[in-house]
């Protein structure tokens, strides 16, 4: 059995608190300034269809905080079962729910109870079939082989245990399942001061 050194553990716990605080703000006060692009401006910049953004609940669009567009390569089809990892306020989950239709299903997983509540309200109001499960991407609360496609938008970079998250994605996918991940990658190793600062990491 491998154990995480205590210092890593406390850094991960502090990172979780930072992430909870930051995304609660994004969920409840999307009108505020953040140090990352968010809302409609970000979604349009990343190639989301403006007509779909018009149709989506305003709250899902305003609190969108993705870093790319996982739908461009996901090729979702009617009837598929989708997991949206770190589903936030639900914009990606809603677009997926529209694509898979009433025969498919979308499950979201998010650390943040405020985000989970908002995502369910937003997707439900727009006629999508969706359930948000409160949980962590490092221990995805989904059965083995239960989904056809995993989507994730700007979430993996927030984990200190990325290999574990990838293993979890594989566990929940059916054999031959697909992933569409968009994220931030640093071409250079982060400096010690950045890597050990939960505020910067959460950012
Ligand atoms: C960049 S946003 C996702 C954007 C979202 N797909 C949308 O449509 O707006 C990141 C989300 O990941 C969640 N998150 C961060 N760390 C997480 C973790 N370890 N497990 C699950 N969710 C996490 C945050 O609470 C936040 O809601």
Q: The whole model's pTM is what? A: 0.93
3: pLDDT strictly greater than 80: no
Cβ-based neighbour number of residue 196 at 10 Å: 14
Dump pLDDT digits (tens) for 146-202.
999 999 999 999 999 999 999 999 999 999 999 999 998 888 888 888 878 877 777
Q: Is the CB of 87 under 6 A from ligand 1?
A: yes
CATH number of 6-202: 3.40.50.150
Domain segments of the chain: what residues? 6-202
Sheet hosting strand 173-182, strand order edge to edge: 130-134, 105-110, 81-85, 147-153, 173-182
Q: Count H helices, E strands: the chain?
A: 10, 5
Q: Is the CB of 23 under 6 A from ligand 1?
A: yes
Q: Please tell me the distance between residue 32's alpha carbon and the centre of ligand 1 in angstroms.
A: 18
Q: Please tell me the distance between residue 141's alpha carbon and the centre of ligand 1 in angstroms.
A: 15
The upper half-sphere exposure of residue 82, i.e. CA atoms within 13 Å in the direction of its Cβ, equals 35
Counting ligand 1 atoms within 8 A of each CB, the residue from 25, 42, 111 with the most, and so the one to mutate, is 111
pLDDT of residue 1: 52
Q: Please tell me the distance between residue 66's alpha carbon and the centre of ligand 1 in angstroms.
A: 9
């Amino acid at each position: 059995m491998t154990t995480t050194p205590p210092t890593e553990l406390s850094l991960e716990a502090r990172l979780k608190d930072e992430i909870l605080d930051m995304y609660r703000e994004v969920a409840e006060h999307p009108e505020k300034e953040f140090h990352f692009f968010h809302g409609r401006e970000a979604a349009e910049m990343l190639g989301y269809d403006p007509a779909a953004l018009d149709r989506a609940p305003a709250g899902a669009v305003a609190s969108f905080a993705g870093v790319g567009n996982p739908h461009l390569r996901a090729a979702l089809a009617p009837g598929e079962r989708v997991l949206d990892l770190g589903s936030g306020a639900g914009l990606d989950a809603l677009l997926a729910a529209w694509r898979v239709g009433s025969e498919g299903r979308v499950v979201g997983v998010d650390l943040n109870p405020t985000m989970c509540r908002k995502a369910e309200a937003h997707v439900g109001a727009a006629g999508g079939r969706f359930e948000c499960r409160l949980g962590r991407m490092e221990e995805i609360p989904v059965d083995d082989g239960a989904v056809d496609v995993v989507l994730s938008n700007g979430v993996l970079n927030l984990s200190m245990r990325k290999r574990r998250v990838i293993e979890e994605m594989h566990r929940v996918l059916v054999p031959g399942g697909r992933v569409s991940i968009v994220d931030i990658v640093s071409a250079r190793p982060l400096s010690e001061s950045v890597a050990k600062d939960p505020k910067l990491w959460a950012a």
